[in-house]
Structure 1
Amino acid sequence: MSPLLQRLTWPVLGGMLTMMSFNLVDTFFISLLGTAQLAAISFTFPVTFLLISLAIGLSIGTSAVIAKALGAGLADTAKEDSLAALWLGAALVSVLALIIAFYLEPLFSLLGATDTTLPFIREYMLIWLAGSVLLVTPMIGNAILRAAGETKIPSLVMASGGLVNAVLDPILIFGLGPVPAMGMQGAALATVFSWLTGFIFIIYWLAVKRGLLDRFYLPLSLALPIWRRILHIGMPAAVANMLTPIAMAILMVIIASYGPEAVAALGVGMRLESIACLVVLALSMTLPPVVGQNFGAGLLGRVQQAYFTACHFVLKWQAGVFLLLALLAYPIAALFTQDQQVATYIRYFIWSLPLSYGLQGVIILTNSSFNALHLPAKAMILSLVRFFVCYIPLAWLGAKIAGVPGLFIGAMVGNLLTASLAYYWFKQVIQRYQ
């Protein structure tokens, strides 16, 4: 990886690693409650990630708008943009959370949840949704800081929230002293308290330390044009990101027919994936500025070099990650469950899908590079092809042929086909510019 990409990526990676590690700890403590609870938290992943995807898209739009204002020396405009972005994120996430809460039981029944898991899902999700506005504010606040050239503080915000979650999880789930055991509700409360930590941290830093917030109210006449600019960039990115939880939901419906053990194993696998692909996710945040700046300067050779260097690096890195996970498959499965069927499914997951995480990284980096080249339609098409032409159909076919192991192998082959298309397509696009 190039020195520039290393310098930009490591601060982001540090914060993400801490946050994702503590999320894995969250899954571990819930797994101690039982297979039904572990299956319940697995069902929540596609729905919670839907809200997170909306927040990510708004963050992308926010960063672009504020970076442009600051680059033009318009400090007051950047302050108005920051405040408008925070209110927009809070409003949209709150509306989506209310809709999900209203249709909670039919939605999760559609995903395959049963009378055994639905009560646990309800306990967790109602608290999670109520606190979701505290999630979006730090995410958009971090985007504001990155647009202002600050990379370390966003990482600290993510890390501090993850630490609070990890400390509170065992206390609120199992009880300690005067604190009663709250089970799934305790896990959700620990998450909300971690968001509250990030919320306080980011508002303080934006308002006091960086002076990017000097008031907390913006007239609607000023806010509306700012919202339009943010949504013009942010909504295509949000929609593209939302394809991932939609695909996860379809995968959940397919695997739910194999029982709660298979659902629980998929939930553990998804959390492992979030850790295993951290370098890819960090690069997907730091590669676009490099691609975009060199593209704007007409330095297409550097665009190619940055993209190919990043892709080759993630292929090698993820190969090493796969070998490590494969060697540790038995102890990892034993860490999360005593149920032998769940453990077997977890091992099937580890021995198949992570083999394609390097290829998945190529897809993600290609998408982020297309966005940096102002080609969001191509990024959208690639995402649609990945999930609904390759990944989901081949996972379904694999499940029909060989059950749960076949589902994981089919998804892996889907990543292979899409990565090959993505790599070839990016080369063709760059050649047309030259």
Structure 2
Amino acid sequence: MSTVAPVAASSVAALPASSHPLLRGAIFPTLLRLSVPNMVAMGMAVLVAVAETYYVGRLGTTALAAMALVFPLAMLTQMMSNGAMGSGVSSAISRALGGGDKDKASALAVHAIVIGGVVGVLYSLLFVLCGAVFYRWLGGQGQVLQAATDFGSVLFSGAVLVWLCNTLASVVRGTGNMKLPSAILFGVSMVQIAIGGGLGLGLGPFPRWGMQGVALGNIVAMALAVVLLLWYLLRGQDKLQLRGHGAALSWPMFKDILRVGAFACISPVQTSLAALIFTGMVARLGPQALAGYGIGQRLEFLLIPIAFGVGVAAVPMVGMAMGAGQVQRARSVAWMGGWLAAAILAVLGLLVLIWPSAWSGIFTQDAQVLAYANLYLRTVGPVFGLFGMGLVLYFASLGAGYVRGPVLAGTVRLAVVMAGGAWLMLGGAASVHALFILVAVAMALYGVCTAWVVWRTPWQRS
């Protein structure tokens, strides 16, 4: 397979190359330069996840099992607001800037904030009011169900702040500025670790509020990030001026964001639904199996932020190139980003294959839970690279405005999970190892199918 797919001839003549550095710099160095700040920020997000799981692990196996029920829905918040809708925001703004229309980019920013606020409120209401129903569907019972409900009620009450934070960060990234949102997210992650640990375990002057205290750390951090990002955008820069006062809302502006972002939201829903199905199946094999799967699954979900570091850098590069008519450059960015993420995650997969306890041993010393977690990592680790390539090509496709193919690849993954899971459960062949093998097969298929559809889909400048 060629690393650069054939490019269809555009019916519109390419515009002259812009002076913007994303359109004239060498592709790989520029992509790497943009990716590094995101990787650093996402590395801090990994540290937050490790710290929170460590805090909850200190509260016992019941708390770990409860966190395993809530975690897929919490990650769905991030994937929808940051990876899907957020990339739709960055894509629209970068395409406008690539075409030389700063006024449109500024108007799109205002519309993006409205979308983030409205969807965030609806998301908070859904998971605060109906969270217990979802956790029960996943197999939560007794003390585990109660702990998950209490934890989720506090955590999802701040979901609107997560949506606003990621929307504002995506607006800034759409201008090609990766350093500022990464620096802000890095800083507030440190705040989250300190406050979540302090309130969760009762460290220093903090009261001991258990899992609810860990959730409050997330809310405080997101509120701080929203204030800082909004201040930066209102202060103004030469690339985009956020003018909230007197801005007229219009459907064409909403449509420019939603035609990519809304459709892209199907992909994280598919990913989380696949995880929820697996969580429900594993939950029926006992709390130790669920806790072990939760530890291993947490690393799988952390692959998404790592690939996000590369993918979110590709979005404005691809978007601006498409807006300026440089379709060949856009496709080269997509494939270089895909191979870069594949290499990074393949190394990570090799490490957990050889030393799985380096991850799972952080969170538990229960021998049975540790054995399940290590089994998961050894089974799934070898396909991390393929999964990473698929994720970055998904992000690059959002930048180009071609999201249908990668979403269909996610549909293939979900179909394999549903069909394979039903066959194992109904046929009486369900075992922890068999379910983990199914996870690996579904992840590998996602990467292969996404690469195939991007290779086969011609991109054209609108």
Scaled by the length of structure 1, the TM-score of the pair is 0.89
Tell me, yes or no, if structure 1 residue 17 matches structure 2 residue 46.
no
2:436 aligned residue? 408
Post-superposition offset of 1:80: 3.6
Q: Taking every aligned residue pair, what percent have the same amino acid on both sides?
A: 24
Deviation string, structure 1 residues 316-356 (Cα, Å, up to 9, x no partner): 43332122223332343332112221111110111111111
Alignment counterpart, residue 62 of structure 2, candidates 24, 36, 50: 36
Give the partner amino acid of 1:53.
M
Bigger mean CA offset, 305-314 vs 4-13: 305-314
Aligned-residue Cα RMSD (Å) equals 2.9
In 2: Cα distance, 1:428 partner to 1:85 partner: 31
- Residues 431 and 138 of structure 1, relative CA distance in 2, 3 Å threshold: closer
Contact (CA 8 Å) 2:406, 2:450: kept in 1 or not? Answer: no
Query: Which fold has the larger relative contact order, with Cα–Cα distance below 8 Å and residues 6 or more apart in sequence?
Result: 2
Aligned partner (choices 419, 428, 441) of residue 393 of structure 1: 419
**Matched residue, 1:262:** 289
1:130-169 equivalent positions in 2, closer than 5 A: 130-169=157-196
What's 1:345 paired with? Answer: 372
The match for 1:7 is 33
Residue ranges of structure 1 left out of the alignment (5+ in a row): none
Match of 1:45 among 66, 71, 78: 71
Q: Could you tell me whether the CA contact under 8 Å between 2:98 and 2:322 is conserved in 1?
A: no
- Matching of residues 146-295 of structure 1 within 5 Å: 146-208=173-235, 210=237, 216=244, 222=249, 224-276=251-303, 278-291=305-318
Provide Cα deviations, 1:369-407, integer angstroms capped at 9, x if missing partner.
Answer: 44444432212211101222x344345656754611221
Q: Is the contact between residue 338 and residue 390 of structure 2 (CA under 8 Å) also seen in structure 1? A: no
Gaps of 5+ in 2: 1-26
- The structure with the greater share of residues assigned to helix is 1
Q: Secondary structure of the residue that 2:249 maps to in structure 1?
A: helix
Aligned residue among 447, 454, 460 for 1:419? 447
Post-superposition offset of 1:214: 5.8
Matching residue's letter, 1:55 = S
Separation in 2, partners of 1:65, 1:301 = 19
TM-fit CA distance, 1:184: 0.9
Q: After superposition, where does 1:315-394 map in structure 2 within 5 Å?
A: 315-388=342-415, 390-394=416-420
1:304 and 1:430 in contact (8 A); partners too: no
> 2:117·2:163 contact (CA, 8 Å) conserved in 1?
yes
Give the partner amino acid of 1:14. Answer: V
CA distance in structure 1 between the partners assigned to 2:320 and 2:245 by the alignment: 34
SS at match of 1:25: helix
Rounded Cα–Cα distance in structure 2 between residues aligned with 1:250 and 1:319: 25
| CA 60–338 in structure 1, closer or farther in 2 if over 3 Å, else same | same
Q: Please state how far the C-alpha of 1:85 moved relative to its aligned partner.
A: 1.8
What secondary structure is seen at the aligned counterpart in 2 of 1:210? coil
TM-score with structure 2 setting the length: 0.84
Q: Which moved more, 1:44-53 or 1:143-152?
A: 44-53
For 2:331 and 2:241, the matched residues in 1 are separated by 38
Please state how far the C-alpha of 1:79 moved relative to its aligned partner. Answer: 3.6
Contact 1:90/1:133, CA 8 A, preserved across alignment: yes
Query: Structure 1 residues 144, 308: CA separation in 2 closer, same or farther (over 3 Å shift)?
Result: closer
> Take 1:290 and 1:11, find their aligned partners in 2: how far apart are those partners?
15
| Number of residue-to-residue matches in the alignment | 431
> How far has the Cα of 1:227 moved from its partner?
2.7
Give distance in 2, aligned partners of 1:419 and 1:58: 21
Tell me the amino acid that sits aligned with residue 86 of structure 2: S
Partner of 2:4: none
> 1:128 Cα shift?
1.4
Range that drifts further, 267-276 or 378-387:
267-276
